[in-house]
C-alpha cells in the first residue's frame, strides 16, 4: 500500500502544484479568456478527482485492514491487550488518518466550487485563491501524515503475519 499511496500522492502533488501555478499566473482569466482558462479548468478538474481518489483509497485501505486485523486476531487467538493490542492500534491509526482523508477532499471540492463562483462573477478572486493555497498546503501535510500512518499500519500487519506463521509451525 505504501508504494501505491506514494505514487498517488506524488502525482497528486504534481497536479496540485501545476493547478495552483496556472491559477496564480493567470489570475484574470475568465471563461471568455480562451486557452489559458481552459487549461486551468481541465487540470483543476483532473486534480480534484485525483485528490478525492487518493484520500478515498487511503480511507478504504484502513477500513479493510481494521476488519482484517480483527478477523486475524479472532481466528488465530493472537494477543490483544485492550490498551496496546492489535485491534486498539488499528483503531488509533484509523482515528489519526480519518480527519485528513475526509477534510482534504472536502477542501478541494469547496475550492473547485469557489472557482466556479469566481468564473461566473459571484465572488472575488481571492476567495478561490485563498482556498487553493490552503488546499495545497493541507494536502501536502495530509500526504505526509497519511504516509506515516500507512507505514506504521504496514509494520503492524507484518508483525501479525509473523505471529500467524509462528503459530502455524
Model pLDDT for residues 63-122, shown as the tens digit of each residue: 999 999 999 999 998 888 887 799 999 999 999 999 999 999 999 999 999 999 998 889
Distance (Å, rounded) from C-alpha 140 to C-alpha 68? 29
Q: pLDDT digit string (tens) for 7-37? A: 999 999 999 999 999 998 876 666 566 677 7
Rounded (10°) CA dihedral 79, 82, 83, 84 = 20
Enter the pTM of the model.
0.89
- CA of residue 60 relative to chain centroid, distance: 11
Q: Where are the alpha helices (DSSP H) in 26-124?
A: 35-76, 86-119
Amino acid at each position: 500500500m505504501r508504494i501505491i499511496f506514494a505514487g498517488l500522492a506524488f502525482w497528486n502533488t504534481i497536479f496540485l502544484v501545476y493547478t495552483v501555478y496556472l491559477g496564480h499566473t493567470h489570475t484574470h482569466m475568465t471563461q471568455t479568456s480562451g486557452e489559458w482558462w481552459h487549461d486551468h479548468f481541465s487540470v483543476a478538474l483532473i486534480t480534484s478527482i485525483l485528490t478525492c481518489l487518493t484520500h478515498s483509497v487511503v480511507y478504504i485501505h484502513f477500513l479493510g485492514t481494521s476488519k482484517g486485523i480483527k478477523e486475524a486476531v479472532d481466528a488465530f487467538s493472537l494477543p490483544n491487550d485492550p490498551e496496546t493490542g492489535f485491534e486498539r492500534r488499528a483503531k488509533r491509526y484509523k482515528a489519526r488518518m480519518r480527519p485528513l482523508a475526509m477534510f482534504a477532499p472536502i477542501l478541494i471540492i469547496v475550492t473547485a466550487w469557489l472557482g466556479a463562483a469566481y468564473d461566473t462573477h459571484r465572488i472575488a478572486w481571492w476567495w478561490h485563491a485563498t482556498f487553493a493555497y490552503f488546499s495545497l498546503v493541507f494536502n501536502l501535510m495530509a500526504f505526509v501524515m497519511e504516509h506515516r500512518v500507512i507505514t506504521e499500519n504496514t509494520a503492524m500487519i507484518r508483525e501479525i503475519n509473523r505471529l500467524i506463521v509462528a503459530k502455524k509451525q
